[in-house]
Amino acid sequence: MLFRSLNVVVNKSLKVSFLASTSYLTALFAFLLFYFLSCDDNPTDNGGWHIDPPIPIVAYNSPIWHPSGQFIGFNHIPIKSLHYVEGSKYPDRWEVEPDSNGFWLINVDGTDMRRIFPTQLQTPAWSPDGEWIAFVSGGQIFKMRFTGETFDTTTITQLTFEGRNFFPSWSPNEQWIAYDSNVNSPNGMQFIWKMKSDGTQKTRIAYDPTKGEIRMPSWSIDGNKIVHSRYSTEFISQEIFLMDSSGNNDIRLTNNEKFDGYPKYSLDGTKIAFASKPLNKQVNLWLMDSTGNNLQQLTTEGMSDNSGLPFSWNPTENFIVFTQYRFDEWPPQNGTLWILDLITEEKRQLTFNPKPNN
């Protein structure tokens, strides 16, 4: 009953093996078949970003640092084996473990990686006290209590009931959740709403259908501002904006005619990290002042932008965890989690795919 209410489909007898084909359509069909059999719905509604060819899946997505700073939650379906033809940049076949699909935790030193929920949580977000997690299933927002070790499924509460709703973000005082929704949108586009954390007092705070969608809200540390992305029909780009938590006084922070999204504040509120993608090129992690100045590129090897949330700040120190991903090739470490030290600029691989076999 519980999983039916969340539109979850878990097939315990399913064993999936992908075989490369000379036909792209064949490979695409195989990917889509696995995708719809193994997941309850799309890992994320990504706001119209370019979708790269499915070669192969991203095994780790939506890393979210727990407010304690001690461990990281993420969606995961383990890759069981990888095989490469000699000299190839892409595997010709791979096998996953669908019985292990779900939401996992891992300590920041890479130890004690464990599954705590048998399905992936779409666009998840911890509450500031770490005692709840908000997530999306079937286009609706839910919340569920975290015990410190696992989830108490008896506390699952549905917060939205209409339209399609994504990217829940808790206010620092935990009284509000901002999100984007297409409710009361005549053209079906997503705009930013906020509601009380019990699902009441739903109010649309950002709406301008003449210019494009307004999405991916994230609160400032003091709760007075909401950073977000806006799609510009004029420049065919997606830029980062800032507005009051009431939805007023919007300010454009990026102006580079790229696809910028998933903005998040740093621990002290002086910086904003975000994903940036030139048209048909690799997405990477960027950093700027909260005023939009001093742009800095943080990664060069790519980051996943269409399989869940791409990164998360450590709430107690200057670290970012992200999903590394290249679309122009598929090395064995593709789709794994990495931690970036913003002080030393050093990267450390946190999770791993299996070593390729012959």
Q: What is the pLDDT of residues 221-250, one digit of tens each?
A: 999 999 999 987 776 789 999 999 999 999
Q: Closest Cα partner for 78 from 46, 120, 123?
A: 120
Nearest by Cα to 205 from 184, 232, 222: 184
Instruction: State the pLDDT at residue 358.
Output: 65
Residues 129-180 have pLDDT tens digits of: 999 999 999 999 999 999 999 999 999 999 999 999 999 999 999 999 999 9
- What's the confidence (pLDDT) of residue 23? 31
Indicate if the pLDDT at residue 1 is higher than 50.
no
pLDDT of residue 357: 81
Q: Model pTM?
A: 0.85
Q: Name the residue range of residue 141's domain.
A: 2-349
Mean pLDDT value across residues 26-30:
33
Q: Is residue 313 included in any domain, yes or no?
A: yes
* CATH number, domain containing residue 173: 2.120.10.30
Flag whether pLDDT at 289 surpasses 50. Answer: yes
pLDDT given for residue 267 in this prediction: 86
Q: Determine the average pLDDT of the residues in 42-52.
A: 42
Q: In this structure, is residue 114 part of a structural domain?
A: yes
pLDDT for the residue 55? 60
* Within-domain flag for 30: yes
Q: Would the pLDDT of 187 be above 50?
A: yes
In a domain, 191, yes or no: yes
Q: How much is the pLDDT for 286?
A: 97
Q: How many residues does the chain have?
A: 358
Cα–Cα dist 357/337, whole Å? 21
Q: Which residues make Cβ contacts (< 8 Å) with residue 55, sequence separation at least 6?
A: 27, 90, 91, 330
pLDDT band at 280 (very low <50, low <70, confident <90, very high): confident
What pLDDT is recorded for position 16? 33
Look at residue 7 and tell me whether its pLDDT is greater than 60.
no
The mean pLDDT value of the chain amounts to 85
Question: Residue 7: which region, alpha, beta or left (left: phi > 0; alpha: psi -120 to 50)?
Answer: left
- Report if residue 355 sits inside a domain: no
In this structure, of 44-53, 201-210, 306-315, the range with the lowest mean pLDDT score is: 44-53
Query: What per-residue confidence (pLDDT) applies to 44?
Result: 45
**Total tally of structural domains belonging to the chain:** 1
Is the residue at 357 inside a domain?
no
Does residue 119 fall inside a structural domain?
Answer: yes
Q: Could you identify the residue written with the tokens 């917060």?
A: 159
Instruction: Read off the pLDDT of each residue in 311-340 and give the average, rounded to a whole number.
Output: 94
Q: Is residue 124 part of a domain?
A: yes
What pLDDT, on a 0 to 100 scale, did the predictor assign at position 310?
Answer: 96
**Is 57 within 8 Å of 28 (Cβ atoms)?**
no
Q: What is the pLDDT of residue 236?
A: 77
